[in-house]
Amino acid sequence: MEFRILQKGEGCRGRLGEIATTHGKFRTPVFMPVGTQGSVKAVSPDELRQTGTEIILANTYHLYLRPGHKLIERLGGLHRFMGWDGPILTDSGGFQVYSLAKLRNITEEGVVFQSHLDGSRHFIGPEQAMDIQQSLGSDIVMAFDECVSYPAEYEYVQRSVALTSRWAERCRAHLAGEAQALFGIVQGGVYPDLREKSAHDLVRLGFDGYALGGLAVGEDRDTRLHVIRETIQMLPEDKPVYLMGVGAPEDLVESVALGVDMFDCVMPTRNARNGTLFTTHGRITIKNAQYMDDERAVDDQCDCYTCTHFSRAYLRHLFLARELLAYRLNTIHNLRYYARLMAGLREAVKHGRVEEFKKAFYEALEGNERGEFND
């Protein structure tokens, strides 16, 4: 992997970049749609491309359980298996250490999971996480870590940071070859000294990029932005910074200005399936009666297939009728909204207008249906 900084922002830490991988290049800052099980829900790879998507995320734990990483490897790797020829990043399974807390047991060696599918028990440690991701053939591999819940006691987070650092060292030692880039994940909760300790440990090991983990797990936005701002300053300027699992539009706008290069979140796709659509002027809940005979497009500034072909009234009808097309059209729009937002941020960085972009972004939200975006 090669990361090139094309331009640094004026008056902020944001930067314009490009990352080259085995399966092509993508521009940063970038948002990665989540394809947990080898599929971004409700849309095809061609439709993903049409939204402006350049890289997607898939999940190690879920693909290990079903259909199995060795099967995917025998069938030519994840790119061929799912028909996506662009870059793929795979999460290590560390988030499932948090999200499946009731179904796992953490030890020094790794984590024993009880499958949410059939109750069977499985062990994943740093070496296993690397082996699974090698079989999948993703372009960017994440180190195995523990994502701690919020709130958490200082002593627990301190022990967790030490464990994550030891696991990161094992990942770094085990991953073979140069075809895949390896990112370390900075943990530490909301404790500044633990974030500093985690960042120091990972930088010492030397990774191709650095992720900020353990955020958007219950803390408020001001706390989250403070952690991001302080932690980024501890990381090498010549490496990409990835903010894991954070995806509210405001978070993207604020975090790009702080120097984040990569994002992922289920927010655009999950909200689409729940009938919530992102627009330039805020979110709309398409099932609401006010859209019953609304002939307008979802967003008059959007050029996606949904907005150029269908009315709010039709989308409301599809959603209330539980037609499968509703999920497809809603997802296409939300992904395009996110792609357009990131393109706008890249242009703002390029022309030194990030603060102006932020001001216009918030002004456009005034008076929308919900008052503001909510996590």
- How large is the average pLDDT for residues 84-94? 95
Cα(103)–Cα(96) distance, integer angstroms: 9
- How large is the average pLDDT for residues 81-107? 91
Cα(188)–Cα(30) distance, integer angstroms: 24
List the catalytic residue out of 201, 208, 261, 264: 264
Amino acid identity, residue 35?
Answer: G
For 97, 100, 191, 266, the CA distances from 151, given in Å and listed in that order, are 16, 17, 11, 22
Residue 291 has what pLDDT? 97
DSSP string, 154-175: HHHHHHHHHHHHHHHHHHHHH-
Residue 100 has what pLDDT? 85
- How large is the average pLDDT for residues 35-56? 98
List the catalytic residue out of 46, 91, 118, 145: 91
Q: Is the backbone peptide bond immediately before 33 cis, with ω within 30 degrees of 0? A: no
Q: Is the pLDDT of residue 369 over 80?
A: no
Residue 103 has what pLDDT? 87
Cα(333)–Cα(302) distance, integer angstroms: 8
- How large is the average pLDDT for residues 189-202? 98
Using 50, 70 and 90 to split pLDDT, how confident is the model at 375?
very low
Residue 178 has what pLDDT? 84
Residue 367 has what pLDDT? 63
Q: What is the C-alpha R_g of the chain?
A: 20
- Each domain of the chain, given as residue ranges in start order, spans 2-265, 274-365
pLDDT digits (tens, 9 = 90+) for 286-314: 999 999 999 999 999 999 999 999 999 99
Say which CATH topology domain 2-265 has.
TIM Barrel (3.20.20)
Q: Is the backbone peptide bond immediately before 236 cis, with ω within 30 degrees of 0? A: no
pLDDT digits (tens, 9 = 90+) for 238-248: 999 999 999 99
Tell me the β-bridge partners of 8.
15
Counting beta carbons within 10 angstroms of the beta carbon of residue 161, is it exposed (0 to 12), middle (13 to 18) or buried (19 or more)?
Answer: buried
Cα(335)–Cα(35) distance, integer angstroms: 12
Q: Is the pLDDT of residue 133 over 80?
A: yes
pTM for this entry: 0.96
Q: How many C-alpha atoms does 174 have within 13 Å on its Cβ side?
A: 20
- How large is the average pLDDT for residues 256-260? 98
- With pLDDT > 90 as the criterion, what percentage of the chain qualifies? 93
CB 59 within 8 A of CB 116: no
Q: Is the pLDDT of residue 277 over 90?
A: yes
Residue written as token pair 């996110």 = 338
CB atoms closer than 10 angstroms to residue 115 = 15
Residue 102 has what pLDDT? 86
As a whole number, the mean pLDDT across the chain is 95
- How large is the average pLDDT for residues 48-65? 97
Calculate the CA 184 to chain-centre distance: 15
Cα(141)–Cα(137) distance, integer angstroms: 9
Q: Answer yes or no: 145 catalytic.
A: no
CB atoms closer than 10 angstroms to residue 34 = 21
CB atoms closer than 10 angstroms to residue 375 = 14
Residue 203 has what pLDDT? 98
Instruction: Bin 325: left if φ > 0, else alpha if -120 < ψ < 50, else beta.
Output: alpha
Q: Answer yes or no: 193 catalytic.
A: no
Tell me the β-bridge partners of 113.
104, 122
Closest by Cα among 91, 26, 85 to 261:
26
Q: How many C-alpha atoms does 371 have within 13 Å on its Cβ side?
A: 2
pLDDT digits (tens, 9 = 90+) for 140-158: 999 999 999 999 999 999 9
Q: Is the pLDDT of residue 372 over 80?
A: no
Using 50, 70 and 90 to split pLDDT, how confident is the model at 371?
very low
Using 50, 70 and 90 to split pLDDT, how confident is the model at 374?
very low
